Amino acid sequence: MSNFDVIVLGSGPGGYVTAIRASQLGFKTAIIEKENLGGVCLNWGCIPTKALLKSAQVFNYLKHAEDYGLSAENVDKDFDAVIKRSRGVADGMSKGVQFLMKKNKIEVIKGFGTLKPGKKVSVKDEQGKETEYGADHIIIATGARSRELPSLPQDGKKIIGYREAMTLKEQPKKMVVVGSGAIGIEFAYFYNAIGTEVTVVEYLPNVVPVEDEDISKQLERSLKKAGIKIKTSAEVTSVDTSGEGIKATVKTAKGEEILEADIVLSAVGIKTNIENIGLENVGISTDRDKILVNNYYQTNIPGYYAIGDVTPGQALAHVASAEGILCVEKIADMHVEPLDYGNIPGCTYCTPEIASVGLTEKQAREKGFDIKVGKFPFSASGKAKAAGTPDGFVKVIFDAKYGEWLGCHMIGAGVTDMIAEAVVARKLETTGHEILKAVHPHPTMSEAVMEAVAAAYDEVIHL
């Protein structure tokens, strides 16, 4: 039996980052992966979807070339080529992780890992051969998959999840997207942009329901303007797949209606991959589909840890990476502070993009804060107008008493690259006045942050 200091089970953005940090800290490290290095994020999630979205964005630019004083004739898309490019980007990123494993002298063990008592993992390879490995510390990072609803059993053909949505053989003429979180909205935008007729069905009253209400309303307006049909406070109760396409029964406040389409994309959240990995063999505690851990990701059994989607924190790639780094640094007896889950940025990469961190206006009021709220529309931004992307705004929320930056919410072009300013500022406990006095470059999209803060303090110049 091979022995290691650290074994990581799963190689997604939580697992492979954890393994690299462990190796950097001098631990003899192994990583176990049953499929492709990089996990869902690099192979079937974050990265390939951004490649698809970029193709859609470029296609949209070409169709509107005249808006920029240019001419582009006979513009069309090649659906197969778009999918192929996305897969190529994903493959390249996965190969990059392979390089990082070699560079950091991490042993990659291919196969399905099952936890055993006594700090051991049994790995079954493709030939069915089982090999046992031991380690002082075993870190579970097995991630999650598309969740299935009883009314939407995925068959991979007519009722699909995100994996199939990235590799369809033919572009559907009509699609129903169930769920308007980041995954549902990104695919709705992509398919609509390349010519599919898309209807989004959301159970809650607003699309992207975790976002500030003003953001949700603006996105709904933008999506409708782009031709996407939106049905909120609606539920798909059944889907008939017996015909050539599908017939989805949708229950709304007005009653039931039937939506006909080629495909239904189920984007109603995720299900953690905690089955059959041996948690019960070891006695590791779980609750409602999550592995219970302390602030340093230790489970109730010494020597076993868990990070990423399988734990109760936000199911985001950057959260999993941060948790893994913190976990192994604690193992190495470094001084670490628990992760602040109230300062985690969230991003949705449709057009316009969404980025946010901290409290929404509603949450701030419910918590009893006396608040200052500022908004600055990109329609008043010289950079946004010049770029032809005036939709959206930046919204900031401050505690009126102490100037604490409680929340920042953005919708517009490129805002996912802007939100880090608010994250860092909140980490440093920066006040609104300090943001106002920090000179922002002109013309940029980012100066809208300064202008929104100025609006909160009744000092706005360009509005």
Q: Taking 90 as the threshold, does the pLDDT of residue 151 lie above it?
A: no
Q: How far apart are CA 20 and CA 37, in angstroms?
A: 13
What the chain holds in terms of domains, given with CATH numbers, is: 2-145+271-341 (3.50.50.60), 159-265 (3.50.50.60), 352-456 (3.30.390.30)
Tell me the average pLDDT of the chain. Answer: 95
pLDDT of 220-259, one tens digit each? 999 999 999 999 999 999 999 998 999 999 999 889 999 9
Weakest-pLDDT range from 36-50, 88-102, 189-203: 36-50
Asked if the model's pLDDT at residue 41 lies above 90, the reply is no
Q: Among 101, 75, 18, which Cα is nearest to 332's?
A: 18
Query: How much of the chain, in percent, has pLDDT values that exceed 90?
Result: 92
Checking if the pLDDT of 449 tops 80, the result is yes
122 phi, psi to nearest 5 deg: -100, 130
Q: How many CA atoms lie within 13 A of 44 on its CB side?
A: 17
pLDDT, residue 441, reads 96
Token readout for 146 is 């598309």
Q: What is the pLDDT of residue 23?
A: 97
Question: How is residue 368 written in tokens?
Answer: 């009893």
270: CB partners within 8 A, 6+ apart: 144, 145, 146, 147, 309, 315
What are the tens digits of pLDDT across the range 346-359? 999 999 999 999 99
**Distance separating alpha carbons of residues 248 and 322, to the nearest angstrom:** 40
287-327 residue pLDDT tens? 999 999 999 999 999 999 999 999 999 999 999 999 999 99
Identify the band that residue 50 occupies on the pLDDT scale cut at 50, 70 and 90: very high
Beta carbons of 353 and 415 less than 8 angstroms apart: yes
Q: What is the pLDDT of residue 178?
A: 97
Tell me the pLDDT band of 2, cut-offs 50, 70 and 90: low
pLDDT-based confidence at residue 190 (cuts at 50, 70, 90): very high
> Where in the sequence numbering do the catalytic residues fall?
442
CA–CA gap between residue 265 and residue 199 (Å, rounded): 10
pTM of the model as a whole: 0.94
pLDDT at 1: 58
